[in-house]
């Protein structure tokens, strides 16, 4: 979007034009552009308006109905926090009793909007001039939110009682952008976030989901968040935003107080947790049930039973596979393989959003020819392929199996390791 087009779009006339456009379609964009030129609009304004119309349509997946009144850039939309996820960030700040929050690196204002929507007084700070201008438009419906052009490192934190950081985690390399995994290489760095927490107290930071546990800060809570099965982020919370057993205003789930080793003592911080947001609106979370790292990470190993679970990625990233196994009444099928299994399962375990449950039909050695023969016998025409601990290409395997597409049945094939060897598990979702 050119600076001239943006300037024209941000006028009252430009916004009226944008809001008057029909639902964007790629097929109809050329004809619409020609029509708008015939009405006397400048090419720059037309290009800017059509770009925004296209981005608004794309943004509905992240922002719902809010997208219809917002402005975007392609990069900003790609990096923006989903409103459903931002609402969970905001709720933690509200429930901890904070009132005035700085949203540092606010981008297009998604987290600013979520916090303002819960009644917090929010100032969003953005260092990119164009992005800050668009964010200013986006927060206009909220009188308790405003946007300032500036850098997080230069903000006066005496103005707020809490801060939220969304550090830039991409850098340019040879004309391309690359994702940064070391939080010290982000802008601002994790060291700056820690220093801010020492001054402000209540601080949260959105980090890369692949963050190595060696970077986790003692006395904080890091929560991995997945949305519809995709792990989106790890959020580190300092001060009153980190949950503690029996202390503070934030609620601690019961498993933190009932566990195999007496669980967590009074005042213990919930160092790691997982938040799972599902498509059916059933949010679930998992917190440690022990102080023993081995108990948290390593379930006992057993045979493949009647049921098998595929844990959500947020649980795995949080290092809570052992906790989940105890919650489900299950064990792992091989050391270092993140599949859980059991011969019996409660209705709650089978329906848990924390792991996808399957009923095991058959287990056999992993031999393509034998698997293909058995799937033909079972009249399987639709096959979902999953793998862990196996260096295979699911698409290639599906092709090699040469299924009869008209066959009436569906199944899931899980390629993994168990009992020291490669196995194929034929299963069906519960």
pLDDT of 378 higher than 90:
yes
Q: pLDDT band at 2, cuts 50/70/90?
A: confident
Q: What is the pLDDT of residues 160-170, one digit of tens each?
A: 999 999 998 75
Q: What is the pLDDT of residues 79-89, one digit of tens each?
A: 999 999 999 99
DSSP state letter for 262: S
- Euclidean distance between CA atoms 364 and 424, whole angstroms: 5
pLDDT for the residue numbered 260: 58
- Euclidean distance between CA atoms 341 and 353, whole angstroms: 16
Residues 170/211, Cβ–Cβ less than 8 Å: no
Q: What is the pLDDT of residues 216-246, one digit of tens each?
A: 999 999 999 999 999 999 999 999 999 999 8
Q: String of b and e for 297-332 (b: at least 16 CB within 10 Å)? A: ebbeebebbebbbbbbbbbbbbbbbbbbbbbbebbb
Q: pLDDT band at 131, cuts 50/70/90?
A: very high
- Euclidean distance between CA atoms 94 and 315, whole angstroms: 25
Residues 234/317, Cβ–Cβ less than 8 Å: yes
pLDDT of 202 higher than 60:
yes
Residues 123/160, Cβ–Cβ less than 8 Å: yes
- Closest to 94 (Cα-Cα) out of 120, 123, 112: 120
pLDDT for the residue numbered 252: 84
> What does the pLDDT average to over 137-144?
97
- Euclidean distance between CA atoms 225 and 140, whole angstroms: 28
**Cis omega (within 30 of 0) on the bond before 188?**
yes
What is the enclosing helix (H) or strand (E) of 358? strand 355-365
- Closest to 167 (Cα-Cα) out of 130, 122, 205: 205
pLDDT of 348 higher than 70:
yes
- Euclidean distance between CA atoms 192 and 66, whole angstroms: 33
- Euclidean distance between CA atoms 324 and 308, whole angstroms: 13
CA triple 9-58-81, angle to 5 deg = 95
Q: What percent of the chain has pLDDT over 90?
A: 84
More confident residue, 88 or 255: 88
Q: pLDDT band at 258, cuts 50/70/90?
A: low
pLDDT for the residue numbered 174: 52
> What does the pLDDT average to over 63-78?
94
- Closest to 45 (Cα-Cα) out of 74, 69, 21: 21
Q: What percent of the chain has pLDDT over 70?
A: 95
- Euclidean distance between CA atoms 111 and 114, whole angstroms: 5
- Closest to 366 (Cα-Cα) out of 422, 304, 426, 425: 422
Residues 424/366, Cβ–Cβ less than 8 Å: yes
The token pair that represents 260 in the structure block: 């195999």
Angle between the 394-401 and 368-377 helix axes, to the nearest 10 degrees? Answer: 60
């Amino acid at each position: 979007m050119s600076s001239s087009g943006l300037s024209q779009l941000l006028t009252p006339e430009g916004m009226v034009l944008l809001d008057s456009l029909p639902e964007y379609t790629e097929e109809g964009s050329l004809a619409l552009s020609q029509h708008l030129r015939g009405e006397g609009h400048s090419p720059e304004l037309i290009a800017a308006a059509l770009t925004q119309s296209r981005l608004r349509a794309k943004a509905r997946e992240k922002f719902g109905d809010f997208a219809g009144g917002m402005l975007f850039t392609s990069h900003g939309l790609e990096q923006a926090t989903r409103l459903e996820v931002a609402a969970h960030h905001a709720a933690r700040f509200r429930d901890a009793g904070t009132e005035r929050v700085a949203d540092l690196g606010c981008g297009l204002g998604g987290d600013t909007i979520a916090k303002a929507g819960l009644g917090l007084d929010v100032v969003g700070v953005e260092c990119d001039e164009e992005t800050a201008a668009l964010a200013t438009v986006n927060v206009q419906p909220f009188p308790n939110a405003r946007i300032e052009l500036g850098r997080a490192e230069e903000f006066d934190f005496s103005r707020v009682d809490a801060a939220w950081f969304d550090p830039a985690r991409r850098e340019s390399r040879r004309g391309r952008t690359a994702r940064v995994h070391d939080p010290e290489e982000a802008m601002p760095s994790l060291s700056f976030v820690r220093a801010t927490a020492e001054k402000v107290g209540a601080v949260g930071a959105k980090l890369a989901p692949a963050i190595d546990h060696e970077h986790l800060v003692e006395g904080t809570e890091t929560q991995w968040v997945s949305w519809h099965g995709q792990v989106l982020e790890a959020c580190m919370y300092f001060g009153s935003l980190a949950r503690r057993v029996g202390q503070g205003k934030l609620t601690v789930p019961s498993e933190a107080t009932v566990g195999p080793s007496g669980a967590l003592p009074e005042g213990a911080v919930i160092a790691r947790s997982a938040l799972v947001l599902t498509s059916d609106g059933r949010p679930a979370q998992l917190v440690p049930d022990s102080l023993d790292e081995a108990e948290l990470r390593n379930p006992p190993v057993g045979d493949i039973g009647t049921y098998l679970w595929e844990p959500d990625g947020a649980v795995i990233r949080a290092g809570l596979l052992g906790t989940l196994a105890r919650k489900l009444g299950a064990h792992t099928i091989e050391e270092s393989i993140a599949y859980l299994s059991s011969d019996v399962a409660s209705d709650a375990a089978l329906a848990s959003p924390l792991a996808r449950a399957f009923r095991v039909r058959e287990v056999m050695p992993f031999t393509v020819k034998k698997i293909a023969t058995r799937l033909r016998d079972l009249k399987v025409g639709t096959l979902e392929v999953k793998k862990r601990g196996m260096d295979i290409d699911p698409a290639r395997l599906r092709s090699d199996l040469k299924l009869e597409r008209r066959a009436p049945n569906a199944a899931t094939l899980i390629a993994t390791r168990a009992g020291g060897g490669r196995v194929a598990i034929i299963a069906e979702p519960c």
